[in-house]
Amino acid sequence: MGNSPIFSLFSLLLLLQFLSEVSSSFTPNDHYLINCGSSSIIDSDNRKFLGDESHLSDSFHLSASRSISLTDVSSSAELYKSARIFTKPSKYAFKIKEKGAHLVRLHFHRFDSSKFDISDAQFHVLAGGYLLLNDFSGLTMKETEIKEYILWVDSDKLVISFKPSYESKFGFVNAIEVISAPKDLILNTAQSDGFPKDGFETMFRVNVGGFKVTPFNDSLWRTWVTDDEFLESIQESKEVHFGGRIKYQNGGASREVAPDNVYNSARVIRSSISGIAKYELKWSFPIIDGHKYLVRTHFCDIASAALDLLYFNVHINGQIAMENLDLSTLTGSLASPFYADSVVNGGNGVITVSIRSSNLSSTSGVDALLNGIEVFKMSNSMDSFDGMISPKSFMRRCRGGNISFLVPLVAAVGLLVAASVVLRKRLMGVNDSVAWSRLPVDVSEVSLKSTYQ
């Protein structure tokens, strides 16, 4: 009983620490969670997704006069039990309170419906001046696909447009997220023209040496997968897990950059007794050529016994990205996170990230360490993530499709009229002077007027 005041004081300190961390957590100014094709509010990962049918307001608007609410979707997840079907071009408009980088997530889930065949779905998606998806097909998609983008929004409105392809019967979407990103999520730390005004598509988000992180455990509601399928070799490596407190610092990585569960686990290379191990750990990520990629590597020294013992090299695509990386000098503390961004050209269909020992490594302890990897596809020079076509050209192509269809149609009508006149002349025995070569000219003029009206 005599220790109860001390215990109470200790509990109070822990509570105050917890409350300070909670109070400093990120609260986005723009935060839209839309349950598409439904009037219901759905809880997913402790978040409320509002139905797009009954929660329209000045801040959010759905313009889809030819859309259909599909609620017979068979799915174990509540969020994917409904979908918005677009048989004509349609759009969602979101009022933006804070200009800057925004997270945009589009949720797609395969469905089995008596009304719509998923194999007939093929459509395009545009948002904020970017072409996100070009001819996205329900026939080739996975069971569930979440497309995540970081888009720079300079206006007071973000419009997300869905346009069925010419050959398609419809497009669809199950859920949409629009969230203003924290200011330290994308910084001007990588060498790229126009950075950070480029758009980014999340390709891979990996918790190295740790467990899968779900949106429930991430302040930006992200998913971090394990590195098992990307790691080429685990020779002389070891997974390390940390039970202490991660020391976030002002100016360093925050919980919004990556959560505790990424920084409190790592994969390391340990030195051998006989000397410095010359092993390499390498991860490979399949990518699409023709784009630049932002590669973000996360570090937090949770394995060293003391400061100034860990030095190592980081290679990306076989080229050295960071030589003699010294986390002690960068952070001044153990268990303090740091991240680095590198921009590389996508080539040979793969991006590799590797860590190796340095000549400055000690003969005992840890030779190299890595906590997390993210790979983002960057929008190309045409503001597209999917093909060499700009959003403006895409819109012109869509509008031009109707004209290009009318021209041969009108020409065919003109030929039919001309043929009918010739046939009538022959049947009635009228001479050439009465045939009038003027009639086909009149038809041509009508054709021109019809084409350009």
pLDDT tens digits, 315-341: 999 999 999 999 999 999 999 999 999
The residue-averaged pLDDT of 262-289 equals 83
The residue-averaged pLDDT of 180-191 equals 73
- Whether the per-residue pLDDT at 391 is higher than 90: the answer is no
The residue-averaged pLDDT of 14-35 equals 66
pLDDT at residue 422, as a whole number: 43
pLDDT tens digits, 99-145: 999 999 999 999 888 889 999 999 999 999 999 999 999 999 999 99
The 3-class secondary structure across 391-446, one letter per residue, is HHHHHHHHHHHHHHHHHHHHHHHHHHHHHHHHHHHHHHCCCHHHHCCHHHHHHHHH
- Whether the per-residue pLDDT at 406 is higher than 70: the answer is no
Q: What is the pTM of this model?
A: 0.81
pLDDT at residue 72, as a whole number: 66
pLDDT at residue 54, as a whole number: 75
pLDDT at residue 12, as a whole number: 40
